[in-house]
């Protein structure tokens, strides 16, 4: 089983074919960064077009039954998520509407303060806001998973504790391995996994020790340490693959419509664009390298299958439907 | 089995309870008259609120499995429809989106010319437009049923012929029984039923012979003649019940935002508001009267069950999913 719990590529038939070559059974794809509800609907429409155009390669994912079907028919199930709560605007009723349309993950913040919580780039962390608590309860009710990948520490810990269902950090790495601002401190990951949540390890070079030069061995050693610390069942992959995107897209991710100034986010004036991916993870086909690397780091076959897919499968299975 | 294929009441717990008293297993309710997509979403949200508030009385209807569940649990399944294509605006991609949200019927026009076809109050009938043909194909593909209740004759006949799946006139009566502008001529009904479609008989007084004074016997005799002419399997009820609505609502139905002048629609200057319902059909509880009336008109038990519900059940069963 192979599931990648975060990608935002410049989607094309080529990439859909590479998903098959890499044996991806399911991928959580980002469908909104800064879009409001109406704009997000246009993105759902665009995916409907791809499902109609490439029915032999991809299929819409709503539950794990869609992953089972995808495996049986040699396709990849596509699950949707938002990196920002902008699609629900200021309307809690939109939580159920976006879930009905297929959304399965929603980040409560994207770097900045939102109506719901604080992003990891803010100076002051409010924790979960009044509306944030109401929205988490509603997300719990319908089966929309709280994702805190781009959130601040206190907000993340509070979300893990307040949510009555497990939450995730879909794409980030441990801060102790590489102290990027977006990587997560031990206390934060601990709060998430203690409540049954998951962390998906990121291949985005700004999150990697030695960035683009990070070795496969170093990445897999990091996973081995995390498995010891957080449990082999609470970890997976959230590659943050942004394949074939032009640099203008990373700029838009960072500034959206909230500023007229340049914001370099995880980049810098000298390196404003997308960094080069490590040689051993260029695209979906390189999940085969991850499998080898995890083997070399001492994981057995079952553990590798869990980390590369089954852990997410079980998580999806328990968290995408209405609360029981 | 009892299914009413058109209501637009001022929804309340009282009305939901009356649905149960009347033994209604399913109702097709109007969720948009003139609303654009974004406004229609607010109406879906309002219904989500009612489903959460009254789970013991109503349940969302997407397929006939929801009717089966509703029967088993003593509730009414609520199916959604639009009286106008305004929710899809000028965007064919919204057809699948509104179907995903739960829409199962869409009228191509509401009295006036639309982007898709001509309404019954227009002087000239274009038939199905270029966009209309594309939208019918898309509705056929996803399982959104074409409803021509408020459409002009030529447009309706063309829709019946062009659509690769059966279409409906969800709420109207035969013109030969009572020549209201909204009632349907023989050739129009014939075109619909010849292609496997259905007509739902309306209890709206403007569609009834002798209007509010129409007798139950006259209404059921009309059904008996229609059964002979169009087949007992192609007919049902679409009561057009607008219970508890203030007169301002019928005015809004007629003028929406398309005119600043008064339009009386089926009413008149002397009777601009909602006409009084016939004494034997005040609300959902009076389905019991319909059953008696149909018996008196000579229908046997099975025929009555088909006309009051099973015909719609079979139609819903065949037409709400993706094309096979």
Chain A residues near residue B102 by CB distance under 8 angstroms: 100
Return the DSSP state at A21. H
The verdict on residue B324 lying in a domain is: no
CA distance A278 to chain B (A): 38
The verdict on residue B293 lying in a domain is: yes
Q: How do residues A138-195 score in pLDDT, each as one tens digit?
A: 999 999 999 999 999 999 999 999 999 999 999 999 999 999 999 999 999 999 999 9
Q: pTM, whole model, 2 decimals? A: 0.95
Q: How do residues A43-78 score in pLDDT, each as one tens digit?
A: 999 999 999 999 999 999 999 999 999 999 999 999
Specify the CATH number for the domain of residue B68. 3.20.20.140
In a 10 Å sphere around its CB, with 0-12 CB exposed, 13-18 middle and 19+ buried, how is residue A127 labelled? Answer: middle
CA distances from A160 to A148, A164, A315 (A): 9, 8, 15
pLDDT tens, position by position, for chain B (324 residues)?
A: 999 999 999 999 999 999 999 999 999 999 999 999 999 999 999 999 999 999 999 999 999 999 999 999 999 999 999 999 999 999 999 999 999 999 999 999 999 999 999 999 999 999 999 999 999 999 999 999 999 999 999 999 999 999 999 999 999 999 999 999 999 999 999 999 999 999 999 999 999 999 999 999 999 999 999 999 999 999 999 999 999 999 999 999 999 999 999 999 899 999 999 999 999 999 999 999 999 999 999 999 999 999 999 999 999 999 999 997
Chain B residues near residue A93 by CB distance under 8 angstroms: 42, 45, 48-49
Number of domains in chain A: 1
The torsion of the CA quartet A196, A31, A50, A200, rounded to 10 degrees, works out to -30
The verdict on residue B286 lying in a domain is: yes
Chain A residues near residue B49 by CB distance under 8 angstroms: 93
Domain of A235 in residue numbering reads as 3-319
The verdict on residue A245 lying in a domain is: yes
Could you tell me which of B169, B144, B146, B13 has the C-alpha nearest to residue B76?
B13
Instruction: Indicate the pLDDT class of residue A324, thresholds 50, 70 and 90.
Output: confident
Rounded CA separation B144/A44 (Å): 18
The verdict on residue A276 lying in a domain is: yes
Q: What are the residues facing A78 on neighbouring strands?
A: A27, A60
CB of B38 less than 8 A from some CB of A: yes
The beta-carbon neighbor of B101 closest among A37, A38, A97 is A97
CB of A48 less than 8 A from some CB of B: yes
The verdict on residue A226 lying in a domain is: yes
pLDDT recorded at residue A321: 96
The verdict on residue A324 lying in a domain is: no
Helices assigned H by DSSP within chain A:
13-21, 37-53, 64-72, 93-101, 130-142, 153-162, 186-194, 216-230, 247-255, 287-296, 301-305, 311-319
Rounded CA separation A192/B76 (Å): 41
The verdict on residue B214 lying in a domain is: yes
B45, A102: Cβ pair inside 8 Å?
no
| CA dihedral sign, ordered A188, A192, A193, A198 | negative
Chain A residues near residue B42 by CB distance under 8 angstroms: 93
CB of B101 less than 8 A from some CB of A: yes
Q: How do residues A267-321 score in pLDDT, each as one tens digit?
A: 999 999 999 999 999 999 999 999 999 999 999 999 999 999 999 999 999 999 9
CB of A92 less than 8 A from some CB of B: no
């Amino acid at each position: 089983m192979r599931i990648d719990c975060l990608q935002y590529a410049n989607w094309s038939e080529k990439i859909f074919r590479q998903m098959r070559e890499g044996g991806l059974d399911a991928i959580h794809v980002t469908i909104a960064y800064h879009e409001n509800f109406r704009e997000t609907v246009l993105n759902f429409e665009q995916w409907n077009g791809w499902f109609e155009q490439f029915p032999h390669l991809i299929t819409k994912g709503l539950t794990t039954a869609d992953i089972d079907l995808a495996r049986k028919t040699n396709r990849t199930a596509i699950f949707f998520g938002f990196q920002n709560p902008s699609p629900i605007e200021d309307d809690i009723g939109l939580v159920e509407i976006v879930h009905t349309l297929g959304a399965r993950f929603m980040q409560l913040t994207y770097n900045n303060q939102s109506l719901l919580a604080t992003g990891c780039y803010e100076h002051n962390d409010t924790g979960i806001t009044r509306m944030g608590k109401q929205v988490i309860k509603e997300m719990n009710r319908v089966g929309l998973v709280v994702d805190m990948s781009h959130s601040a520490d206190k907000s993340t810990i509070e979300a893990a504790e307040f949510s009555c269902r497990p939450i995730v950090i879909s794409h980030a790495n441990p801060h102790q391995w590489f102290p990027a601002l977006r990587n997560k401190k031990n206390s934060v990951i601990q709060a998430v996994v203690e409540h049954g949540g998951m962390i998906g390890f990121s291949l985005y070079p700004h999150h990697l020790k030695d960035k683009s030069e990070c070795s496969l061995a170093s990445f897999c050693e990091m996973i081995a340490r995390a498995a010891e610390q957080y449990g082999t069942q609470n970890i997976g992959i959230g590659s943050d693959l942004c394949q074939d995107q032009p640099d203008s897209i990373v700029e838009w991710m960072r500034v959206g419509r909230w500023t007229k100034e340049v914001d370099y986010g995880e980049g810098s004036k000298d390196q404003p664009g997308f960094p080069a991916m490590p040689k051993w993870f260029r695209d979906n086909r390189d999940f085969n390298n991850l499998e080898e690397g995890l083997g070399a780091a001492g994981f057995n076959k079952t553990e590798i299958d869990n980390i590369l897919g089954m852990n997410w499968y079980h998580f999806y299975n328990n968290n995408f439907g209405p609360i029981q």
